[in-house]
Copies of this chain bind each other. A is one copy, B any other.
Amino acid sequence: MDTGLDLNQPAPELTAAICDIASVSGAERPLADAVEQALRAHPHLSVDRDGDAVVARAGEGRVGRVVVAGHLDTVPIAGNLPTKRDGDVLWGRGTVDMKGGVAVMLRLAAQIASPVRPVTYIFYDNEEVEAERNGLGRISRTRPELLEGDFAVLMEPTSAMVEGGCNGTLRARVTVRGTAAHSARWWMGSNAIHDAAPVLERLGAYQPAKVEVDGLVYREGLNAVAIEGGIAGNVIPDRCVIAVNYRFAPDKTEQAAFDHVCEVFRGWDVDLADSAPAARPGLDRPAAREFVAAAGGEVRAKEGWTDVARFAGLGVPAVNFGPGDPQLAHADDERVNITEIVECENRMRAWLAPDEG
């Protein structure tokens, strides 16, 4: 049928085609349907559907299996669809985050019937919204066997650089207590906001570590992200709460990271709000070494938290590698240079099917 996706058109054209099937988070169904239909046309693939996620497996067995993953959804459209092509530049929502990567995945899945290692391609929903809706998270809870592998590549935009692992992230609340009183008789109270000064000083003076893990250097950070205190305009406040965000390197568990935050703020009440684990790049594994070699040899650490940590949580080391400048993700003028899409496809193909080059 003519509404089907043609997976044999060049990757830049395929990117434009799947961008033009709008798929803002929660509304991925038409794109997921098109992806499922196109993949089912290829008998070398075993295709599964889970909500608005599609999983396609190529190659036999579990040994040496690798996972290639990308999300189908985008942030809301900002007058930037349909896509526009201007020379080597493709403009529009999703061109960077991350339908260039998805187009590459679709072509690899369709065209590589006999990869040198078994491959699982995962196209998932709801990456751009609250963590509990994330399709990869849902599959990891309900069907973790679909994510099994020795190594994973998440095709998020990295300007076609390999970015290994990711920092973890943790939020905690530091509470400073005082004694309320009428502000006309302030000496009867103890001002919790004034007494928060040393907490803020400690944050300002904090020297975040740079930590080497598997040969990559991760830059940590500890920052206040919110502060609140105050009861009324005529009351000495009895409480001031500082919310801090600790970005921690993959040498630490979430517990070790929280212990560190408690140590930094020893003397105050510290409680954990939420956390997400860091991910090691896993560059000591053969599949990873071969991937890095195929991708050009250079690897840098990923600073931000990404879904690679979901693989790490399942014991699968993972890297980010995809076309597009991450600084342009979510921007109204989101755009990708199509040469990056082609380069990523070639590198991935050299890794999965070196003899077909």
Contact = CB atoms under 8 A, between A and B. Distances in A.
Contacts of A226: 193, 229-230, 233, 237
B194 A223 contact: yes
A169 interface: yes
Q: Tell me which of A183, A195, A235 has the highest count of chain B C-beta atoms within 10 A of its own C-beta.
A: A183
A236 interface: yes
Contacts of A233: 171, 225-226, 243, 245, 273
Interface string A220-247: 0101111111111111110010110101
A201 B197 contact: yes
A227 B228 contact: yes
A167 interface: yes
Nearest to A246: B183
A224 B186 contact: no
Interface residues of A, number: 45
Q: Tell me which of A182, A193, A201, A245 has the highest count of chain B C-beta atoms within 10 A of its own C-beta.
A: A193
Given A171-B233, A225-B234, A194 B186 contact: no
A51 interface: no
A60 to B, nearest CB: 39
A224 B237 contact: yes
Given A185-B304, A186-B247, A234-B169, A197 B197 contact: yes
A235 B229 contact: no
Contacts of A195: 204
A340 interface: no
A305 interface: yes
B247 A230 contact: no
Contacts of A97: none
A293 interface: no
Interface in A181-217: 182-187, 191, 193-197, 200-201, 203-204
A304 B201 CA distance: 33
B227 A240 contact: yes
A325 interface: no
Contacts of A228: 227-230
Nearest to A183: B245
A186 B221 contact: yes
A113 to B, nearest CB: 39
A45 to B, nearest CB: 35
> Lowest 5 CB-CB distances: which A-B pairs, in order?
A226-B230, A197-B200, A184-B304, A193-B224, A186-B221
